[in-house]
Chain A
Amino acid sequence: MPMVTLTIDGKEVQVEQGTTILDAAKKVNVSIPTLCYLKDINVIGACRICVVEVKGARALQAACVTPVAENMVVLTNTPAVRNSRRMTLELILSNHPFECPTCIRNQNCELQALAEAFGIREVRYTGANPEHNKDDSSVSLVRDPDKCILCRRCVSVCEKVQTVNAIGPQGRGFDTVIAPGVDMGLAESNCVNCSQCVLVCPTGALHERDQIKEVWAALDDPKKHVVVQTAPAVRVAIGEMFGMEPGSVATGQMVAAIRKLGFDKVFDTDFTADLTIMEEGSELLERVKTGGALPLITSCSPGWIKFIEHFYPALLPHVSTCKSPQQMFGALAKTFYAEKAGVDPADVFSVSIMPCTAKKFEAQRPEMNASGYQDVDVVLTTRELGRMFKQAGIDFNELPEENYDDPLGISTGAAVIFGATGGVMEAALRTVYEIVTGNTLASVDFVDVRGLEGVKEAIVKVGDLDVKVAVAHGLGNARKLLDALQAGEADYHFIEIMCCPGGCIGGGGQPIPTNYEIRQKRINGTYAADEAMALRKSHENPAVQQLYKEFLEKPLGHKSHELLHTKYTPRGKFNSAV
């Protein structure tokens, strides 16, 4: 690639031809503010916040889309640049509600941060400010078009990363809203509830359905026995809400803080992640033995499940019948646990803390009532949990670490890695290998399935069988595997699919920002947490073994089928109608 030399704010820099001014500026530590820009995903030069002066050019240029040229002279801090950015900001703000203190993104809003950085103290203009209807039809997320600045980041993520295309710009001018087609609410549309759009929204126009109040009400109700489960990916992200480095493993502090909120029992979704491996591993072996539908595809990720229900309903027989760990936990909390603890299941209030908003939808699926009650009552995201800690005045960073409660808090490293892409596959391989061969693995690390590459493949020798596996994360990558499968070009035995890029650590309920670098750090934290565990294989989990002995009998047994397995619902390609 030919190189180009230019100067930015007087500093000479050499970059590859085709590089944008924005990226070239980063090389010489010149930071240019952006708003609509989203690396590799939304590069449209729409918001004009990143404008810079290019000597010889007629007008200011948007740095995010302008390629460098030989001998180009770029100035990023001139009166013209500063005035233009201020003007742009004021115009955006002129059509934006001034509700910062009551906004869900207060103090974590890119528009607010820019307004502060540019010292905007008054807005000279009044925009049309048309009132749009808030879309709160979805149980997972809320769309508030009044706060939307039409940056298109959400549209791009939904289209390019997830290939769902649930939302797009509708109407024109001031009346434009980002919404599903034909006046549908999100609930009626083919939105899979992943909330990758929420992670990239610079303002409060898209956000999770906040259910903190419902949890406080249960905690304040003396009749309720409130139990909580925490997903694997929450522990490596919750610390970010309290200033910790991304990827910090804050399991102990999190457990202590949750206990301080007043929960009766603090349990771990990791327990049922181990249980999932027992059931799903057995299902895989069963399908290989009896000639069932192969490849078997994982079913832990509810965004992924809704995606296949909408777009590839014919492939549903490939999906494991195992419920997700959240729902397995829910079914056990109001049966096995309630019985053991001597609590009336009607009084058990089951909360789960998830990195995910699709889990809110999953918990409310009509079939998720194996216990005779709604198995999981309320799902909170990592962000909501962080806010609850703040509301309770908990000094998170200073808390001494505490342990989960027995028995649904006992888990292995195999369960921890469920949070990262490739983790369920690796956990399954650890167990399937040892169960089939009867040998102990020399190393439990299957590194081929780790990391942020979109589609990963591996062949693992298990006894006489070469087990061919594939892993995809992000629905665009999932689509590649499914298209291959449909075309008869995928001879895998087992496929892991996670809805969100990076797996659950990059879920739509995680702290904002969640970007590529932060995802990688959370993945590193996840594998560090795995290595720190005494037990690293699901079948070695003593509490799971005990559960089978006392209650479930055996994997895929009668009781397992009743409580731990489920069925799926084909849906329309463009709407949720069954």
Chain B
Amino acid sequence: MEAKSICRCDLNAELEKVIAQHEGKKDDLIEVLYWVQENYGYVPKDVQQIIADKMNVPLSTIYGVITFYHLFSLKPKGKYGISLCKGTACYVRGAPQVLERFEKELGIKPHDSTDDNMFSLEVVRCLGACGLAPVMTINKEPRVRMKPDLVPGIINECRNADK
């Protein structure tokens, strides 16, 4: 699995260009926020201010959108993004227990990241592989037929890969 690199160098200049493409179109806010999430890895506070200022959208509205959609995060996402499916098939095949184990091992709740910025945890609905339930992905790479006892191994694997 490939670790995401988080670097803000030159991103702000790039952001200005992206905002300029949407000039005068307040409805494009989500598109701009999506670009920020993809490129910054989260939506930093100062970036929210820049968007508010340049797109003339209230800061309270921007924050509202970010906190409404789980796609956006206010903290940098971890190097390893874990997305665990809690769709119907995964749910009945034991996804809640897997999630519980991840929460315990990582010490975080869903939609949060570990303090060392290594892991972030998300719950998603249906990854389209119900026959292999419970399913999860690490940085978009699938892991199938998950069991709680597989969790520590996966975490170690990531930690070792990072060394």
Contacts and interface: CB of A to CB of B under 8 A. Distances in A.
Nearest to B43: A182
Interface in B34-81: 45, 48-49, 52-53, 58-64, 67-68
A365 interface: no
Given A168-B58, A573-B53, A574-B49, A181 B63 contact: yes
A95 B48 CA distance: 31
B86 to A, nearest CB: 15
Contact of B61 (A165, A179, A189): A165
B48 A168 contact: no
Contacts of B49: 574
Contacts, number: 50
Given A171-B68, A172-B67, A181 B60 contact: yes
Nearest to A158: B60
Contact of A574 (B52, B64, B67): B52
A181 B45 CA distance: 10
Contact of B63 (A159, A170, A190, A573): A170
Contacts of A575: 59
A168 B63 CA distance: 8
Nearest to B63: A181
Contacts of A385: none
A165 B58 contact: yes
A interface, over-half SS:
loop
B interface, over-half SS:
helix
B108 to A, nearest CB: 17
Contacts of B63: 168, 170, 180-183
Contacts of A573: 52-53
A357 to B, nearest CB: 19
Contact of B59 (A159, A169, A172, A182): A182
A494 to B, nearest CB: 30
B60 A165 contact: yes
A168 B52 contact: no
B43 to A, nearest CB: 10
B68 A168 contact: no
Q: Which has the most chain A C-beta neighbours within 10 Å: B45, B48, B53, B59?
A: B59
Nearest to A155: B60
A152 B146 CA distance: 43
Nearest to A163: B58
Contacts of A182: 45, 48, 59, 63
Nearest to A164: B58
Contacts of B62: 181
B27 to A, nearest CB: 16
A181 B64 contact: yes
A278 interface: no
Interface in A150-196: 159, 165-172, 179-183, 189-190
Nearest to A191: B60
A154 B62 CA distance: 17
A168 B61 contact: yes
A180 B48 CA distance: 13
A180 B59 CA distance: 8
B69 to A, nearest CB: 8
A171 to B, nearest CB: 5
A181 B48 contact: yes
Contacts of A179: 60
B126 to A, nearest CB: 19
Contact of A181 (B53, B59, B68): B59
B60 A180 contact: yes
Interface string B83-113: 0000000000000000000000000000000
B136 to A, nearest CB: 23
Contacts of A574: 49, 52-53, 58-59
Nearest to B48: A182
Q: Which 7 A-B pairs have the closest CB atoms?
A: A181-B63, A165-B58, A168-B60, A181-B59, A574-B59, A181-B60, A168-B64
Interface of A: 159, 165-172, 179-183, 189-190, 573-575
17 contacts: A165-B59, A165-B61, A166-B60, A168-B60, A168-B63, A170-B60, A170-B63, A170-B64, A180-B60, A181-B52, A181-B58, A181-B64, A182-B63, A190-B59, A573-B53, A574-B49, A574-B59
Interface of B: 45, 48-49, 52-53, 58-64, 67-68
Given A165-B61, A172-B68, A181-B60, 12 more contacts: A165-B58, A165-B59, A168-B58, A172-B67, A179-B60, A180-B63, A182-B48, A190-B59, A573-B52, A573-B53, A574-B53, A574-B59
